[in-house]
Amino acid sequence: MTIIRLQSCSDAEAAVAELGFASVYEEFIARLQSLRVGKEAPRGGAQFPDLSLPDASGRYRSIRQLQGGRPIVVSFNRGLWCPFCVHELQSWAAASPALEDVGANLVVVTGEIGEGASAVQGMIGPRATLLCDVDHGAALACGLAFPVGEDVKRRYLAIGLDLAAIYGSDGGFLPIPATFVVGEDGIILYAHVDPDFRLRPEPLDIVAFLAAMG
């Protein structure tokens, strides 16, 4: 599976450079790695939890319901404030027809609510489903959420980025972006979990993986 370093993508790289966050992110990622954040997340061969969350319109949907007896890709995403996540969402939107051709669904899980959630749904398109992870409860349950820390929160606020306003909660948590391929029986066939949020699997490689699985 090709893992793309999104910082090498011009849009994400330019955004990070403009904000002066490149060195901050390096230190932040090193801290998460030292704390082994994400090591308790679901892995290949395990049963993926049947999460039930509201979609962008407020209607509760479960993972099993959205599967409909088909494979599913579940992508945990931080939202549109994150340039790396935007790049990934755009890549999934482009890969959406190919994903549908191999008989799979895409579900994006993000803590964004309200207009932010609607904007994410608009970006990924009608073939995919956006689920709102209110207070990062699903990410916490999956071992993917961590306290962002006061220093990073202050730095974000200094550039006008208020995570509490974006997520509708001042809990101070962020999720690790993660990608799971779940078989029709609910068993995880592939999992990518990495505290380095710049690293994501290439969506078309996920499609190829599913095609090879038949």
Average pLDDT over residues 186-199: 93
Hey, what amino acid is at 32?
A: L
CA dist., res. 165 & res. 190, Å (int): 33
| DSSP-assigned letters across all residues of 74-118 | EEEE--TT-HHHHHHHHHHHHHHHHHHHTT-EEEEEES--HHHHH
What is the reported pLDDT for 35? 81
Q: Which domains occur in the chain, in start order?
A: 3-213 (3.40.30.10)
The residue with greater pLDDT, 158 or 1, is: 158
pLDDT band at 24 (very low <50, low <70, confident <90, very high): confident
pLDDT for 58 equals: 93
Mean pLDDT, rounded, of the chain: 88
For the chain, the distance separating the N- and C-terminal CA atoms, rounded to the nearest angstrom, is: 17
Does the structure show a pLDDT above 80 at 23?
Answer: no
pLDDT over 80 at 17, yes or no: no
Instruction: Give the residue carrying structure tokens 């060195």.
Output: 23
103-110: average pLDDT: 96
From 19-23, 44-48, 122-126, 198-202, the region with the lowest mean pLDDT: 19-23
| pLDDT band at residue 12 under the 50/70/90 scheme | very low
pLDDT, average across residues 164-192: 93
Q: How far is it, in rounded angstroms, from Cα 91 to Cα 93? A: 5
pLDDT score, position 8: 44
Pairing of strands 199-201, 3-5: antiparallel
